[in-house]
Amino acid sequence: MSEKKTMRLTLKVWRQNGPQDQGRFETYELDNVNPDWSFLEMLDILNMKLVREGKEPIAFESDCREGICGTCGFVINGRAHGHLHKTTVCQLHMRHFKDGETIVIEPFRATAFPVLKDLIIDRSAMDFILKRGGYISVNVGSAPDANTIPVPKHNSDRAFDFATCIGCGACIAACPNASAALFVSAKITHLALLPQGHPEREKRVDEMLTAMEEQGFGGCSNTYACEVECPKGISITGIARANLEYWRAKLKGN
């Protein structure tokens, strides 16, 4: 690693004390930013500085810090998880920003995602959708030998491509309608592509899409903004697939 120049940044961060608070931007200056820091490490350091000054640190969430748990996520300069393609905030490194840059940080915004504090939002609405059908109802103890269910490699690989969703909410944040279509369809498609998922497919798609509505998410208007921001690169072809599942279920009289 060669010697790298450090950076000076201006951060405009959304601060909000609680769900009822109005919220406002606050501006922080941060010097000596190392390009090898991750974005969250940069915030850690800012927070340590704030704590030393006796100020309340910026509340934000993260956990695995390797882009798989889906805990982190906010909007950086108008882009969910920042401008880097297929990257969560925790994997975004400061080398992708310029010295002297002003960075605006805002929470994911959707009616279904109330802000709890600063950049922390409540995403439980996503689990309320999943619980309505994002599973295969098979009991422990009653599974046949794994190799008695052959699955074409192509289908299995595609199922994985949708199962890889980390449930971070970026698709919803990036959608002009705050629609959860990509998130919901990822689960529907994952299970629709596997023979194991077939016995419950009609009920699943109907229930999950209804739940998405009940949770206050918008409808999909096929702008495909979600696909661009998805850190796992989940394709909107899954939305079409889920739609097909839905019409199929309707035609079968469900």
Contact residue for another protein among 20, 29, 31, 145 (CB under 8 A): 145
Query: Which is closer to another protein, CB of 100 or CB of 219?
Result: 219
Query: Which is closer to another protein, CB of 7 or CB of 115?
Result: 115
Q: What is the dihedral of CA 9, 12, 14, 17, to 10 degrees?
A: 80
Considering only CA atoms, which of 15, 1, 75, 78 is closest in space to residue 39? Answer: 75
The terminus-to-terminus CA distance of the chain in angstroms comes to: 60
Contact residue for another protein among 194, 202, 204, 234 (CB under 8 A): 194
Closest contact distance (angstroms) between CB of 38 and another protein is 7
- Residue 96 is which amino acid? H
Q: Which two tokens stand for residue 247?
A: 């019409």
Q: Which two tokens stand for residue 3?
A: 């010697």
Confirm or reject binding of residue 112 to another protein (CB under 8 A). Answer: yes
Query: Which is closer to another protein, CB of 5 or CB of 153?
Result: 153
| Pairing mode, strands 75-76 and 120-121 | unpaired
Query: Which is closer to another protein, CB of 87 or CB of 101?
Result: 87
Query: Which is closer to another protein, CB of 61 or CB of 234?
Result: 61
Confirm or reject binding of residue 138 to another protein (CB under 8 A). Answer: yes
Closest contact distance (angstroms) between CB of 149 and another protein is 6
Confirm or reject binding of residue 159 to another protein (CB under 8 A). Answer: yes
Chain residues 205-224 in contact with another protein, contact rule CB under 8 A: 206, 209-210, 212-214, 216-224
Backbone angles phi, psi at 80, to 5 degrees: -65, 130
**In 45-63, which positions are buried (b, 16+ CB within 10 angstroms) versus exposed (e)?**
ebbeeeeeeeeeebebbbe
Chain residues 59-88 in contact with another protein, contact rule CB under 8 A: 59, 61-71, 75, 77-79, 83-84, 86-87
